[in-house]
């Protein structure tokens, strides 16, 4: 919105400072706005959630050992994701380039994933047993949304930067040509047949027959990331803190991918629409910091599925658009480990009638072993920070 206004003023003959158009300035303002809105509106929303009795249900039979430490948290309201998602939506509408396809893909993903997560939270609240609608139905909706959003981005742009959807601007991709020693345009098919692997200097280029594989990978990361963050959201500040590290890494990568010289130096792909990815992730960073203000121990509010599923999907979408799906599995290693712990626990119990962990996801296992909640969160944050730094190092090897 602001960008369109600035362009109109410039076209009308008014002097507009180039600083206002710079990506770094837009990212900073987006982060500040989303943080400010989250902090200022937080108390009011939390009070309203208390009045509506949007509680957090503990499933005792799944992990009875933790009941004693979780008795007090049953009164803490859930669905706090409404707070930071609204802040992100406001900041996005203000500072995103609404003439670009990527902006609308992010905004639509936020809205539809919030609807899925919000309905799941509503079902849990109505039933009172901590169970929403079935995991299969939820996964089906996530996969379908991932197919639509990734499909729009993978098929919409052409090399001239035009887009076949609603006359929006699409993303052009360029890659460093080692023979010509310069950035050279690549076709849309070539761009989405490219896969970057951490610590590998050269990207992997698949043949056209490999497009379904990479499309499946993008959708898998979209849905997998959503559920990974959802499973990690079990302790005060754990999921939102780990989200911060991942979002910062991909915001930096988006900034680099929007700059021809930087992307050439680091050997990564130039993405014309990466500026909007960076701006949106900056909004996520600011909103996450604001939410952590209320979600840190002892939490005044929980994000609920409406928050965790949505931010996970947005991180997965960012990885797909920047062609860094595998990097997400490294930087978001905490989410991967938490998900694997649940898969291993369920598989072991069904096949062997034995549990590998005292309780799953993994953070509850350490609680059962006597670790305090704050200690678990701090140590997981440390690991998340180290993985984020490792991910940044892997970009330039």
H helix or E strand, kind and range, residue 270: strand 270-271
Question: In 3D, which of 325, 305, 334 has the Cα closest to residue 241?
Answer: 334
H helix or E strand, kind and range, residue 271: strand 270-271
Lowest mean pLDDT among 67-71, 162-166, 306-310: 162-166
Arithmetic mean of pLDDT over the chain? 86
Q: For residue 203, is pLDDT > 60?
A: yes
Lowest mean pLDDT among 10-19, 107-116, 132-141, 388-397: 10-19
The CA distance from 93 to 282, in Å, is: 13
Q: Which residue has the tokens 């009011």?
A: 44
Q: Which residue has the tokens 């440390």?
A: 382
Is the distance from CB of 107 to CB of 93 less than 8 angstroms? yes
Q: What is the pLDDT of residue 363?
A: 94
Coil, helix or strand at residue 157: strand
Which range marks the domain in which residue 272 is found?
2-395
The CA distance from 147 to 177, in Å, is: 31
Alpha-carbon radius of gyration of the chain: 21
Q: Which sign, positive or negative, has the C-alpha torsion 52, 57, 339, 136?
A: negative
Q: Residue 375 CB: number of other CB atoms within 10 A?
A: 12
Q: What is the pLDDT of residue 160?
A: 47
The CA distance from 346 to 324, in Å, is: 29
The CA distance from 366 to 312, in Å, is: 23
Q: What is the pTM of this model?
A: 0.91
The predicted model gives 146-169 an average pLDDT of 66
Per-residue pLDDT tens digits for 36-52 = 999 999 999 999 999 88
Is the distance from CB of 333 to CB of 352 less than 8 angstroms? no
Q: For residue 264, is pLDDT > 90?
A: no
The CA distance from 358 to 201, in Å, is: 41
Confidence of residue 175 (pLDDT cuts 50, 70, 90): low
List, in sequence order, every beta strand (DSSP E) within 158-242: 173-177, 182-186, 194-195, 204-205
Per-residue pLDDT tens digits for 348-365 = 999 998 999 999 899 999
The CA distance from 270 to 248, in Å, is: 19
Q: Transcribe 320-362 into DSSP letters.
A: HHTT-HHHHHHHTHHHHHHHHHHHHHHHHHHHHS--SSSSSSH
Q: Mean pLDDT: which of 80-84, 126-130, 369-373 is highest?
A: 80-84
Do the bridges between strand 204-205 and strand 194-195 make them parallel or antiparallel, or are there none, so unpaired? antiparallel
Is the distance from CB of 21 to CB of 279 less than 8 angstroms? no
Q: For residue 1, is pLDDT > 80?
A: no
State the total domains in the chain.
Answer: 1
Question: In 3D, which of 386, 287, 368 has the Cα closest to residue 332?
Answer: 386
**Paired residues of 163 in beta bridges:** 157
Question: In 3D, which of 253, 261, 255 has the Cα closest to residue 181?
Answer: 261
Q: What is the pLDDT of residue 147?
A: 95
The CA distance from 303 to 240, in Å, is: 9
**Paired residues of 176 in beta bridges:** 183
For residue 20, report the phi and psi dihedrals to the nearest 5 degrees.
Answer: -70, -20
Q: Which residue has the tokens 């089906």?
A: 140
Question: In 3D, which of 206, 201, 59, 178 has the Cα closest to residue 130?
Answer: 59
**Paired residues of 184 in beta bridges:** 175
For residue 87, what are the contacts with CB-CB under 8 A and spacing of at least 6?
33, 34, 35, 37, 38, 41, 283, 286, 287, 290
The CA distance from 67 to 69, in Å, is: 6
Q: How large a percentage of the chain has pLDDT more than 70?
A: 85
Q: For residue 314, is pLDDT > 60?
A: yes
């Amino acid at each position: 919105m602001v960008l369109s206004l600035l362009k109109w003023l410039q076209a009308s003959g008014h002097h507009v400072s180039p600083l206002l158009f710079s990506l770094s300035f837009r990212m900073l303002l987006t982060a500040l706005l989303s943080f400010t809105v989250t902090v200022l509106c937080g108390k009011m929303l939390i009070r309203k959630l208390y009045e509506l009795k949007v509680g957090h249900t503990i499933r005792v039979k799944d992990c009875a050992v933790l009941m004693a430490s979780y008795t007090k948290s049953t009164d803490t309201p859930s669905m706090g994701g409404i707070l930071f998602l609204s802040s992100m939506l406001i900041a996005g509408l203000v500072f995103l380039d609404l003439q670009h396809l990527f902006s609308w893909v992010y905004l639509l993903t936020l809205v539809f994933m919030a609807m899925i997560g919000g309905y799941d939270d509503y079902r849990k609240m109505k039933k009172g047993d901590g169970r929403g609608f079935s995991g299969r139905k939820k996964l089906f909706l996530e996969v379908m949304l991932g197919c639509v959003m990734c499909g729009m981005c993978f098929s919409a742009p052409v090399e001239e930067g035009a887009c076949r959807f609603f006359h929006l601007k699409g993303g052009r991709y360029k890659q460093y040509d080692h023979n010509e020693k310069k950035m050279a345009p690549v076709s849309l098919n070539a761009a989405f047949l490219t896969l970057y692997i951490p610590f590998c200097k050269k990207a992997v280029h698949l043949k056209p027959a490999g497009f379904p594989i990479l499309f499946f990978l993008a959708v898998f990361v979209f849905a997998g990331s959503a559920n990974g963050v959802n499973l990690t959201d079990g302790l005060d500040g754990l999921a939102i803190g780990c989200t911060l590290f991942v979002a910062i890494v991909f915001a930096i990568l988006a900034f680099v991918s929007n700059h021809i010289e930087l992307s050439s130096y680091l050997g990564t792909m130039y993405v014309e629409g990466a500026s909007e990815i960076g701006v949106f992730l900056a909004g996520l960073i600011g909103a996450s910091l604001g939410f952590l203000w209320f979600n840190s121990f002892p939490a005044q509010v929980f994000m609920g599925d409406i928050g965790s599923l949505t931010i996970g999907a947005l991180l997965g979408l960012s990885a797909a658009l920047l062609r860094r799906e595998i990097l997400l599995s490294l930087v978001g290693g905490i989410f991967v480990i938490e998900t694997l712990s649940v898969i291993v626990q369920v598989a072991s119990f069904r096949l062997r009638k034995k549990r590998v962990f005292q309780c799953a996801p993994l953070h509850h296992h350490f609680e059962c072993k006597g670790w305090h909640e704050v200690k678990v969160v701090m140590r997981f944050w440390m690991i998340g920070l180290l993985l984020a730094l490792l991910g940044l190092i892997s970009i330039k090897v």
